[in-house]
Chains A and B, each alone.
Chain A
Amino acid sequence: MCLAIPGKIVEMLPGDSAQALVEVLGVRRKVDLGLLEEADPGRVGDWVLIHVGFAMSKVSERHAMEQIRLLEALGETEAAAIELRQGLEAT
Protein backbone atom coordinates (compact mmCIF):
# COMPACT_ATOMS: atom_id res chain seq x y z
CA MET A 1 0.00 0.00 0.00
CA CYS A 2 3.00 2.26 0.22
CA LEU A 3 3.75 1.97 -3.50
CA ALA A 4 2.17 4.72 -5.57
CA ILE A 5 0.30 3.98 -8.80
CA PRO A 6 0.83 6.25 -11.83
CA GLY A 7 -2.19 7.65 -13.66
CA LYS A 8 -2.90 10.18 -16.39
CA ILE A 9 -5.29 13.08 -15.89
CA VAL A 10 -7.97 12.82 -18.58
CA GLU A 11 -10.58 15.35 -17.44
CA MET A 12 -10.91 18.09 -14.83
CA LEU A 13 -14.25 17.88 -13.02
CA PRO A 14 -16.34 20.98 -12.37
CA GLY A 15 -16.36 22.47 -8.86
CA ASP A 16 -13.74 24.19 -6.78
CA SER A 17 -12.12 21.29 -4.98
CA ALA A 18 -9.55 19.99 -7.51
CA GLN A 19 -11.29 16.78 -8.58
CA ALA A 20 -10.24 15.07 -11.81
CA LEU A 21 -10.90 11.91 -13.76
CA VAL A 22 -7.67 9.96 -13.97
CA GLU A 23 -6.94 6.83 -15.95
CA VAL A 24 -5.14 4.36 -13.70
CA LEU A 25 -4.18 0.91 -15.00
CA GLY A 26 -7.07 0.98 -17.45
CA VAL A 27 -9.58 2.06 -14.80
CA ARG A 28 -11.04 5.58 -14.81
CA ARG A 29 -11.69 7.00 -11.39
CA LYS A 30 -12.10 10.26 -9.59
CA VAL A 31 -8.86 11.44 -8.02
CA ASP A 32 -8.37 14.41 -5.73
CA LEU A 33 -5.57 16.71 -6.90
CA GLY A 34 -5.69 18.83 -3.74
CA LEU A 35 -2.34 17.59 -2.41
CA LEU A 36 -0.30 18.65 -5.45
CA GLU A 37 1.96 21.68 -5.01
CA GLU A 38 -0.13 24.86 -5.33
CA ALA A 39 2.30 26.37 -7.83
CA ASP A 40 1.96 23.34 -10.12
CA PRO A 41 -1.54 21.93 -9.62
CA GLY A 42 -1.88 19.47 -12.53
CA ARG A 43 -3.59 19.64 -15.92
CA VAL A 44 -5.18 17.29 -18.44
CA GLY A 45 -2.43 15.10 -19.92
CA ASP A 46 -0.18 15.22 -16.82
CA TRP A 47 1.03 12.03 -15.17
CA VAL A 48 0.63 11.83 -11.40
CA LEU A 49 1.57 9.29 -8.72
CA ILE A 50 -1.60 8.27 -6.90
CA HIS A 51 -1.78 6.95 -3.37
CA VAL A 52 -5.16 5.91 -1.88
CA GLY A 53 -7.13 8.05 -4.34
CA PHE A 54 -5.06 11.23 -4.02
CA ALA A 55 -2.45 12.53 -6.46
CA MET A 56 0.75 12.98 -4.43
CA SER A 57 3.19 14.25 -7.06
CA LYS A 58 3.54 14.96 -10.74
CA VAL A 59 6.02 12.79 -12.65
CA SER A 60 7.36 12.54 -16.18
CA GLU A 61 5.72 10.09 -18.57
CA ARG A 62 8.99 8.14 -18.59
CA HIS A 63 8.99 7.75 -14.84
CA ALA A 64 5.28 6.80 -14.91
CA MET A 65 6.11 3.96 -17.34
CA GLU A 66 9.04 2.82 -15.18
CA GLN A 67 6.78 2.78 -12.14
CA ILE A 68 4.11 0.73 -13.95
CA ARG A 69 6.79 -1.78 -14.94
CA LEU A 70 8.03 -1.91 -11.36
CA LEU A 71 4.51 -2.61 -10.07
CA GLU A 72 4.15 -5.37 -12.66
CA ALA A 73 7.47 -6.90 -11.62
CA LEU A 74 6.40 -6.75 -7.97
CA GLY A 75 3.15 -8.51 -8.89
CA GLU A 76 1.18 -5.55 -7.60
CA THR A 77 -0.73 -4.33 -10.66
CA GLU A 78 -3.47 -6.93 -10.45
CA ALA A 79 -4.06 -6.28 -6.78
CA ALA A 80 -4.03 -2.53 -7.41
CA ALA A 81 -6.59 -2.80 -10.21
CA ILE A 82 -8.85 -4.92 -7.98
CA GLU A 83 -8.57 -2.34 -5.21
CA LEU A 84 -9.38 0.48 -7.61
CA ARG A 85 -12.50 -1.34 -8.80
CA GLN A 86 -13.52 -2.12 -5.24
CA GLY A 87 -13.28 1.59 -4.61
CA LEU A 88 -15.68 2.26 -7.46
CA GLU A 89 -18.14 -0.41 -6.37
CA ALA A 90 -18.14 0.79 -2.79
CA THR A 91 -19.68 4.08 -3.84
Chain B
Amino acid sequence: MKYVDEFRRPELIGKAREEIRRLIDPSRHYRFMEVCGGHTHAIYRFGLKDLLPRNIELVHGPGCPVCVLPMGRIDDGLALARQPEVIFTAFGDMMRVPGTHGSPLEQKARGVDVRIVYSPADALKIAEANPDRHVLFFAIGFETTAPSTALTLKRARERGIGNFSVFCNHVTIIPAIRAILDSPDMRIDAFIGPGHVSTVIGCRPYEWIARNEKKPIVVSGFEPLDILQAVAMLLRQLRNGEAKVENQYGRVVPWEGNRSALKALAEVFELRPYFEWRGLGFISQSALRIRDEYAEWDAERRFTVPGVRVTDPKAAQCGEVLKGVLQPAQCKLFGKECTPEHPIGALMVSSEGSCAAYYTFEHRKAAVGAP
Protein backbone atom coordinates (compact mmCIF):
# COMPACT_ATOMS: atom_id res chain seq x y z
CA MET B 1 0.00 0.00 0.00
CA LYS B 2 2.81 2.33 1.01
CA TYR B 3 4.50 2.03 -2.35
CA VAL B 4 1.37 2.75 -4.32
CA ASP B 5 0.73 5.89 -2.24
CA GLU B 6 4.21 7.05 -3.10
CA PHE B 7 3.57 6.29 -6.71
CA ARG B 8 2.15 8.82 -9.11
CA ARG B 9 -1.45 9.42 -10.15
CA PRO B 10 -3.26 8.18 -7.04
CA GLU B 11 -6.54 9.55 -8.44
CA LEU B 12 -6.25 7.24 -11.48
CA ILE B 13 -5.43 4.30 -9.21
CA GLY B 14 -8.63 5.14 -7.33
CA LYS B 15 -10.62 5.22 -10.56
CA ALA B 16 -9.26 1.84 -11.69
CA ARG B 17 -10.19 0.31 -8.31
CA GLU B 18 -13.66 1.80 -8.62
CA GLU B 19 -14.01 0.27 -12.10
CA ILE B 20 -12.90 -3.13 -10.77
CA ARG B 21 -15.50 -2.96 -7.98
CA ARG B 22 -18.16 -2.06 -10.52
CA LEU B 23 -17.33 -4.96 -12.87
CA ILE B 24 -16.74 -7.73 -10.37
CA ASP B 25 -19.28 -10.40 -9.52
CA PRO B 26 -18.94 -10.68 -5.72
CA SER B 27 -20.42 -14.19 -5.74
CA ARG B 28 -17.62 -15.79 -7.75
CA HIS B 29 -13.90 -16.40 -7.30
CA TYR B 30 -11.51 -15.24 -10.03
CA ARG B 31 -8.07 -16.71 -10.78
CA PHE B 32 -5.93 -14.53 -13.06
CA MET B 33 -2.44 -15.66 -14.03
CA GLU B 34 0.27 -13.11 -14.62
CA VAL B 35 2.57 -14.91 -17.03
CA CYS B 36 5.61 -12.66 -16.67
CA GLY B 37 8.03 -12.65 -13.72
CA GLY B 38 8.38 -8.86 -14.07
CA HIS B 39 4.67 -8.57 -13.26
CA THR B 40 5.06 -10.91 -10.27
CA HIS B 41 7.83 -8.69 -8.93
CA ALA B 42 5.76 -5.52 -9.45
CA ILE B 43 2.62 -7.04 -7.85
CA TYR B 44 4.51 -7.85 -4.63
CA ARG B 45 6.64 -4.70 -4.64
CA PHE B 46 3.63 -2.41 -4.94
CA GLY B 47 1.39 -4.51 -2.68
CA LEU B 48 -1.25 -4.73 -5.42
CA LYS B 49 -3.01 -7.67 -3.78
CA ASP B 50 -4.11 -5.27 -1.04
CA LEU B 51 -5.74 -3.06 -3.67
CA LEU B 52 -7.82 -5.83 -5.26
CA PRO B 53 -11.06 -7.36 -3.97
CA ARG B 54 -10.48 -10.57 -2.03
CA ASN B 55 -12.20 -12.76 -4.59
CA ILE B 56 -9.53 -11.97 -7.22
CA GLU B 57 -6.59 -14.33 -6.84
CA LEU B 58 -3.43 -13.52 -8.77
CA VAL B 59 -1.61 -16.72 -9.73
CA HIS B 60 2.06 -16.51 -10.68
CA GLY B 61 3.01 -17.96 -14.02
CA PRO B 62 6.05 -19.55 -15.63
CA GLY B 63 7.61 -16.36 -17.03
CA CYS B 64 10.86 -16.32 -15.10
CA PRO B 65 13.54 -17.78 -17.38
CA VAL B 66 15.90 -18.69 -14.56
CA CYS B 67 13.11 -20.50 -12.71
CA VAL B 68 11.90 -22.73 -15.53
CA LEU B 69 15.33 -24.10 -16.40
CA PRO B 70 15.72 -27.68 -15.16
CA MET B 71 18.75 -28.37 -13.01
CA GLY B 72 20.16 -30.79 -15.58
CA ARG B 73 20.78 -27.96 -18.04
CA ILE B 74 22.73 -26.02 -15.38
CA ASP B 75 24.80 -29.14 -14.68
CA ASP B 76 25.41 -29.55 -18.43
CA GLY B 77 26.56 -25.94 -18.76
CA LEU B 78 28.85 -26.23 -15.76
CA ALA B 79 30.35 -29.46 -17.11
CA LEU B 80 31.41 -27.47 -20.18
CA ALA B 81 32.65 -24.64 -17.93
CA ARG B 82 35.13 -27.04 -16.31
CA GLN B 83 36.97 -27.66 -19.61
CA PRO B 84 40.33 -25.90 -19.14
CA GLU B 85 40.13 -23.71 -22.27
CA VAL B 86 36.60 -22.48 -21.53
CA ILE B 87 35.57 -19.11 -20.10
CA PHE B 88 31.96 -19.56 -18.95
CA THR B 89 29.80 -16.42 -19.23
CA ALA B 90 26.23 -15.87 -18.08
CA PHE B 91 23.87 -13.16 -16.84
CA GLY B 92 24.11 -12.20 -13.17
CA ASP B 93 20.67 -13.81 -12.59
CA MET B 94 22.15 -17.23 -13.34
CA MET B 95 25.08 -17.04 -10.96
CA ARG B 96 23.39 -18.22 -7.78
CA VAL B 97 21.12 -20.84 -9.34
CA PRO B 98 21.95 -24.17 -7.75
CA GLY B 99 23.22 -27.07 -9.83
CA THR B 100 23.82 -30.53 -8.39
CA HIS B 101 27.43 -29.58 -7.59
CA GLY B 102 26.81 -25.97 -6.68
CA SER B 103 25.93 -22.78 -8.51
CA PRO B 104 28.09 -21.08 -11.16
CA LEU B 105 29.31 -18.72 -8.42
CA GLU B 106 30.36 -21.65 -6.21
CA GLN B 107 32.15 -23.23 -9.17
CA LYS B 108 33.98 -19.93 -9.65
CA ALA B 109 35.14 -20.06 -6.03
CA ARG B 110 36.58 -23.49 -6.85
CA GLY B 111 38.69 -22.03 -9.65
CA VAL B 112 36.42 -22.45 -12.68
CA ASP B 113 36.63 -19.39 -14.99
CA VAL B 114 33.08 -18.05 -14.60
CA ARG B 115 32.28 -14.45 -15.53
CA ILE B 116 29.12 -12.34 -15.26
CA VAL B 117 28.12 -10.48 -18.39
CA TYR B 118 25.39 -7.91 -18.83
CA SER B 119 24.96 -8.72 -22.51
CA PRO B 120 25.77 -11.55 -24.93
CA ALA B 121 27.65 -8.85 -26.86
CA ASP B 122 29.99 -8.52 -23.86
CA ALA B 123 30.65 -12.28 -23.97
CA LEU B 124 31.60 -11.91 -27.63
CA LYS B 125 33.99 -9.09 -26.72
CA ILE B 126 35.67 -11.33 -24.15
CA ALA B 127 36.19 -13.89 -26.93
CA GLU B 128 37.81 -11.25 -29.16
CA ALA B 129 40.12 -10.23 -26.30
CA ASN B 130 41.08 -13.85 -25.48
CA PRO B 131 41.82 -15.58 -28.80
CA ASP B 132 43.59 -18.52 -27.09
CA ARG B 133 40.53 -19.35 -24.96
CA HIS B 134 36.98 -20.47 -25.83
CA VAL B 135 34.17 -18.26 -24.55
CA LEU B 136 30.86 -20.01 -23.90
CA PHE B 137 27.72 -17.95 -23.33
CA PHE B 138 25.03 -19.69 -21.28
CA ALA B 139 21.94 -18.23 -22.95
CA ILE B 140 18.61 -18.08 -21.13
CA GLY B 141 15.41 -16.13 -21.67
CA PHE B 142 12.13 -15.90 -23.53
CA GLU B 143 11.52 -14.04 -26.77
CA THR B 144 12.58 -10.80 -25.06
CA THR B 145 16.18 -11.97 -24.80
CA ALA B 146 16.56 -14.49 -27.63
CA PRO B 147 16.84 -11.82 -30.41
CA SER B 148 19.91 -10.38 -28.65
CA THR B 149 21.57 -13.79 -28.66
CA ALA B 150 20.58 -14.20 -32.32
CA LEU B 151 22.14 -10.90 -33.31
CA THR B 152 25.28 -11.71 -31.29
CA LEU B 153 25.66 -14.94 -33.29
CA LYS B 154 25.22 -12.98 -36.51
CA ARG B 155 27.93 -10.54 -35.36
CA ALA B 156 30.23 -13.47 -34.48
CA ARG B 157 29.80 -14.83 -38.00
CA GLU B 158 30.26 -11.40 -39.66
CA ARG B 159 33.48 -10.82 -37.73
CA GLY B 160 34.70 -14.42 -38.08
CA ILE B 161 35.07 -14.98 -34.33
CA GLY B 162 35.58 -18.73 -33.96
CA ASN B 163 36.39 -19.06 -30.26
CA PHE B 164 32.84 -18.30 -29.17
CA SER B 165 29.77 -20.47 -28.72
CA VAL B 166 26.29 -20.34 -27.23
CA PHE B 167 24.74 -22.98 -24.97
CA CYS B 168 21.18 -22.24 -25.96
CA ASN B 169 18.36 -22.48 -23.39
CA HIS B 170 15.98 -19.99 -24.96
CA VAL B 171 12.32 -20.86 -24.49
CA THR B 172 9.06 -19.61 -25.97
CA ILE B 173 6.10 -18.41 -23.96
CA ILE B 174 3.07 -19.66 -25.91
CA PRO B 175 3.71 -23.43 -25.47
CA ALA B 176 4.19 -22.86 -21.73
CA ILE B 177 0.79 -21.16 -21.48
CA ARG B 178 -0.71 -24.03 -23.45
CA ALA B 179 0.91 -26.59 -21.10
CA ILE B 180 -0.56 -24.80 -18.10
CA LEU B 181 -4.02 -24.81 -19.66
CA ASP B 182 -3.65 -28.53 -20.42
CA SER B 183 -2.66 -29.32 -16.84
CA PRO B 184 -5.58 -31.08 -15.11
CA ASP B 185 -4.92 -29.49 -11.70
CA MET B 186 -5.03 -25.98 -13.10
CA ARG B 187 -7.97 -23.62 -13.35
CA ILE B 188 -7.28 -20.13 -14.72
CA ASP B 189 -10.02 -17.70 -15.74
CA ALA B 190 -7.89 -15.23 -17.68
CA PHE B 191 -4.32 -14.09 -18.33
CA ILE B 192 -2.35 -10.89 -17.77
CA GLY B 193 -0.09 -11.12 -20.82
CA PRO B 194 3.65 -10.40 -20.63
CA GLY B 195 4.77 -6.85 -21.47
CA HIS B 196 8.23 -7.08 -22.95
CA VAL B 197 7.95 -10.51 -24.57
CA SER B 198 5.07 -8.95 -26.48
CA THR B 199 7.22 -6.07 -27.77
CA VAL B 200 8.93 -8.82 -29.80
CA ILE B 201 6.14 -11.30 -30.64
CA GLY B 202 3.26 -8.79 -30.68
CA CYS B 203 -0.30 -9.69 -29.65
CA ARG B 204 -1.35 -12.00 -32.47
CA PRO B 205 0.24 -15.22 -31.07
CA TYR B 206 -2.13 -15.03 -28.09
CA GLU B 207 -5.24 -15.15 -30.25
CA TRP B 208 -5.46 -18.95 -30.04
CA ILE B 209 -5.85 -18.70 -26.24
CA ALA B 210 -8.82 -16.44 -26.69
CA ARG B 211 -10.29 -18.41 -29.57
CA ASN B 212 -9.64 -22.04 -28.64
CA GLU B 213 -9.48 -21.92 -24.88
CA LYS B 214 -12.06 -19.15 -24.43
CA LYS B 215 -9.74 -17.28 -22.06
CA PRO B 216 -9.42 -13.48 -22.09
CA ILE B 217 -5.87 -12.13 -22.23
CA VAL B 218 -4.72 -8.54 -21.72
CA VAL B 219 -1.10 -7.62 -22.46
CA SER B 220 -0.12 -5.23 -19.67
CA GLY B 221 2.56 -2.74 -18.64
CA PHE B 222 4.37 -2.90 -15.30
CA GLU B 223 3.14 0.13 -13.39
CA PRO B 224 0.51 -0.35 -10.67
CA LEU B 225 -2.02 1.54 -12.79
CA ASP B 226 -1.25 -0.68 -15.82
CA ILE B 227 -1.87 -3.88 -13.87
CA LEU B 228 -5.07 -2.58 -12.25
CA GLN B 229 -6.37 -1.47 -15.65
CA ALA B 230 -5.53 -4.88 -17.12
CA VAL B 231 -7.51 -6.55 -14.29
CA ALA B 232 -10.49 -4.27 -15.05
CA MET B 233 -10.28 -5.13 -18.76
CA LEU B 234 -10.27 -8.87 -17.97
CA LEU B 235 -13.28 -8.46 -15.66
CA ARG B 236 -15.16 -6.55 -18.36
CA GLN B 237 -14.55 -9.33 -20.90
CA LEU B 238 -15.67 -12.01 -18.42
CA ARG B 239 -18.79 -10.03 -17.50
CA ASN B 240 -19.67 -9.64 -21.19
CA GLY B 241 -18.98 -13.31 -21.89
CA GLU B 242 -16.11 -12.39 -24.24
CA ALA B 243 -12.67 -13.94 -24.73
CA LYS B 244 -10.34 -11.79 -26.80
CA VAL B 245 -6.82 -10.38 -26.85
CA GLU B 246 -6.46 -6.76 -25.75
CA ASN B 247 -3.39 -4.56 -25.50
CA GLN B 248 -3.22 -2.34 -22.43
CA TYR B 249 0.49 -1.59 -23.10
CA GLY B 250 0.06 -0.03 -26.54
CA ARG B 251 2.57 2.72 -25.75
CA VAL B 252 5.33 0.07 -26.01
CA VAL B 253 3.82 -3.07 -27.58
CA PRO B 254 2.94 -2.94 -31.30
CA TRP B 255 0.20 -5.41 -32.28
CA GLU B 256 2.48 -6.99 -34.89
CA GLY B 257 5.58 -7.12 -32.67
CA ASN B 258 9.13 -6.18 -33.70
CA ARG B 259 9.78 -7.42 -37.24
CA SER B 260 13.58 -6.92 -37.08
CA ALA B 261 13.80 -9.00 -33.92
CA LEU B 262 11.51 -11.72 -35.34
CA LYS B 263 13.64 -11.83 -38.49
CA ALA B 264 16.86 -12.25 -36.48
CA LEU B 265 15.20 -15.06 -34.47
CA ALA B 266 14.08 -16.88 -37.61
CA GLU B 267 17.51 -16.59 -39.25
CA VAL B 268 19.50 -18.01 -36.35
CA PHE B 269 17.12 -20.31 -34.45
CA GLU B 270 14.65 -23.08 -35.13
CA LEU B 271 12.22 -24.85 -32.79
CA ARG B 272 13.44 -27.86 -30.85
CA PRO B 273 11.10 -30.85 -31.11
CA TYR B 274 10.77 -30.76 -27.31
CA PHE B 275 12.45 -29.27 -24.25
CA GLU B 276 12.23 -29.95 -20.53
CA TRP B 277 10.82 -27.26 -18.25
CA ARG B 278 11.12 -27.28 -14.50
CA GLY B 279 7.73 -28.13 -13.07
CA LEU B 280 6.02 -28.49 -16.42
CA GLY B 281 7.99 -31.45 -17.80
CA PHE B 282 8.72 -31.92 -21.50
CA ILE B 283 6.82 -29.53 -23.76
CA SER B 284 6.88 -29.99 -27.51
CA GLN B 285 8.20 -27.14 -29.69
CA SER B 286 8.73 -24.94 -26.65
CA ALA B 287 12.38 -23.95 -27.04
CA LEU B 288 14.90 -22.73 -29.60
CA ARG B 289 18.02 -24.36 -30.95
CA ILE B 290 20.72 -22.99 -33.24
CA ARG B 291 20.27 -23.60 -36.98
CA ASP B 292 22.78 -25.63 -39.01
CA GLU B 293 24.09 -22.43 -40.62
CA TYR B 294 25.39 -21.41 -37.20
CA ALA B 295 26.51 -24.89 -36.04
CA GLU B 296 30.09 -23.66 -35.55
CA TRP B 297 28.85 -21.40 -32.71
CA ASP B 298 26.57 -24.01 -31.12
CA ALA B 299 28.12 -25.27 -27.86
CA GLU B 300 25.93 -28.41 -27.99
CA ARG B 301 27.63 -29.41 -31.25
CA ARG B 302 31.15 -28.20 -30.49
CA PHE B 303 31.35 -30.01 -27.18
CA THR B 304 30.08 -33.29 -25.85
CA VAL B 305 27.24 -32.33 -23.54
CA PRO B 306 26.55 -34.88 -20.79
CA GLY B 307 22.77 -34.47 -21.17
CA VAL B 308 22.09 -34.74 -17.46
CA ARG B 309 18.56 -35.23 -16.16
CA VAL B 310 18.18 -34.33 -12.52
CA THR B 311 15.00 -34.39 -10.53
CA ASP B 312 14.47 -31.48 -8.15
CA PRO B 313 15.08 -32.01 -4.44
CA LYS B 314 12.09 -34.08 -3.29
CA ALA B 315 10.93 -31.75 -0.53
CA ALA B 316 11.00 -28.66 -2.77
CA GLN B 317 7.70 -27.99 -4.55
CA CYS B 318 9.03 -25.63 -7.23
CA GLY B 319 6.96 -27.31 -9.92
CA GLU B 320 3.65 -26.77 -8.15
CA VAL B 321 4.53 -23.15 -7.40
CA LEU B 322 5.63 -22.59 -11.00
CA LYS B 323 2.32 -23.89 -12.30
CA GLY B 324 0.38 -21.77 -9.84
CA VAL B 325 -1.06 -24.81 -8.03
CA LEU B 326 0.62 -23.72 -4.79
CA GLN B 327 1.34 -20.21 -3.55
CA PRO B 328 5.03 -19.76 -2.53
CA ALA B 329 4.43 -19.89 1.24
CA GLN B 330 2.59 -23.23 0.87
CA CYS B 331 5.84 -25.00 -0.08
CA LYS B 332 7.23 -27.01 2.84
CA LEU B 333 10.72 -25.48 2.51
CA PHE B 334 9.64 -21.87 2.03
CA GLY B 335 11.39 -19.48 4.42
CA LYS B 336 12.92 -22.40 6.34
CA GLU B 337 15.51 -24.40 4.40
CA CYS B 338 14.95 -22.28 1.28
CA THR B 339 15.58 -18.51 1.51
CA PRO B 340 17.07 -15.93 -0.91
CA GLU B 341 20.36 -16.23 1.03
CA HIS B 342 20.36 -20.03 0.73
CA PRO B 343 18.12 -20.90 -2.21
CA ILE B 344 17.26 -24.55 -2.81
CA GLY B 345 15.00 -23.92 -5.81
CA ALA B 346 15.50 -21.41 -8.61
CA LEU B 347 12.29 -19.55 -7.78
CA MET B 348 14.04 -18.25 -4.65
CA VAL B 349 17.01 -16.89 -6.65
CA SER B 350 15.84 -14.42 -9.25
CA SER B 351 14.04 -11.23 -8.20
CA GLU B 352 11.40 -12.28 -10.74
CA GLY B 353 10.96 -15.67 -9.12
CA SER B 354 7.68 -15.74 -7.21
CA CYS B 355 9.26 -17.23 -4.06
CA ALA B 356 11.98 -14.55 -3.85
CA ALA B 357 9.45 -11.79 -4.50
CA TYR B 358 7.03 -13.18 -1.91
CA TYR B 359 9.81 -13.66 0.63
CA THR B 360 11.23 -10.15 0.17
CA PHE B 361 7.99 -8.20 0.26
CA GLU B 362 5.40 -10.30 2.12
CA HIS B 363 7.19 -12.74 4.40
CA ARG B 364 9.55 -10.15 5.92
CA LYS B 365 6.70 -7.67 6.29
CA ALA B 366 4.79 -10.27 8.30
CA ALA B 367 7.92 -11.15 10.30
CA VAL B 368 8.53 -7.59 11.47
CA GLY B 369 4.83 -7.01 12.07
CA ALA B 370 4.58 -4.02 9.71
CA PRO B 371 1.17 -3.14 8.24
Check A1 against B260 for contact (C-beta < 8 Å).
no
A59 to B6, CA, bound (A): 25
A74 touching B120 in the complex, CB below 8 Å, given contacts A3-B222, A83-B92: no
Check A49 against B252 for contact (C-beta < 8 Å).
yes
Residues in B neighbouring A36, C-beta threshold 8 A: 260
Residues in A neighbouring B239, C-beta threshold 8 A: none
> B48 to chain A: closest CB distance in Å?
12
Check B260 against A53 for contact (C-beta < 8 Å).
no
Check A35 against B158 for contact (C-beta < 8 Å).
no
Check A73 against B45 for contact (C-beta < 8 Å).
yes
Residues in B neighbouring A84, C-beta threshold 8 A: 118
* Chain A stretch 28-59: residues in CB contact (< 8 A) with chain B: 30, 32, 34-38, 49, 51-54, 56-57, 59
Check A91 against B125 for contact (C-beta < 8 Å).
yes
Check A51 against B148 for contact (C-beta < 8 Å).
yes
Check A51 against B196 for contact (C-beta < 8 Å).
yes
A57 touching B148 in the complex, CB below 8 Å, given contacts A84-B118, A91-B122, A91-B129: no
Q: Does A70 make an interface contact (CB < 8 A)?
A: yes
Contact of B200 among A56, A59, A76, A91 (CB under 8 A): A56
Residues in B neighbouring A56, C-beta threshold 8 A: 144, 147, 196, 199-200, 258, 261
Contact of A90 among B37, B126, B151 (CB under 8 A): B126
Check B122 against A38 for contact (C-beta < 8 Å).
no
Contact of B93 among A1, A17, A38 (CB under 8 A): A1
> B59 to chain A: closest CB distance in Å?
18
Contact of B45 among A74, A79, A91 (CB under 8 A): A74
Residues in B neighbouring A4, C-beta threshold 8 A: 196, 199
A3 touching B151 in the complex, CB below 8 Å, given contacts A52-B145, A66-B223, A90-B122: no
User: 0/1 per residue, B175-213, Cβ < 8 Å to A?
Assistant: 000000000000000000011110110000000000000
Check A86 against B46 for contact (C-beta < 8 Å).
no
- In the complex formed, the residue of A with least CB distance to B360 is A75
A10 to B259, CA, bound (A): 25
Check B125 against A35 for contact (C-beta < 8 Å).
no
Contact of A87 among B38, B118, B141 (CB under 8 A): B118
Most B-side CB within 10 Å, residue of A54, A66, A75, A87: A54
Contact of B155 among A17, A38, A52, A73 (CB under 8 A): A17
Q: For chain B, what secondary structure do more than half of its interface residues adopt (helix, strand, loop), or is it mixed? A: helix
Report the interface size for chain B: residues with CB under 8 A from the other chain. Answer: 57
Q: Does B119 make an interface contact (CB < 8 A)?
A: yes
Check B258 against A57 for contact (C-beta < 8 Å).
yes
Residues in A neighbouring B121, C-beta threshold 8 A: 30, 32, 53-54
Check A52 against B42 for contact (C-beta < 8 Å).
no
> B304 to chain A: closest CB distance in Å?
27
Residues in A neighbouring B282, C-beta threshold 8 A: none
- In the complex formed, the residue of A with least CB distance to B117 is A90
**Could you write out 23 A-B pairs with CB less than 8 Å apart?**
A2-B197, A4-B196, A4-B199, A32-B121, A32-B148, A34-B260, A34-B264, A35-B147, A35-B151, A35-B261, A49-B199, A51-B148, A52-B119, A52-B120, A52-B141, A54-B147, A56-B147, A60-B251, A63-B251, A73-B7, A86-B92, A87-B122, A91-B126
**Chain A positions near chain B (C-beta within 8 angstroms):** 1-4, 17, 30, 32, 34-38, 49, 51-54, 56-57, 59-60, 63, 66, 69-70, 73-76, 79, 83-84, 86-87, 90-91
Pairs of residues from A and B, 3 with the lowest C-beta to C-beta distance, nearest first: A53-B119, A87-B118, A2-B38
4 further A-B pairs in the complex, CB-CB below 8 A; given A3-B38, A35-B261, A54-B147: A2-B197, A3-B222, A56-B261, A86-B116
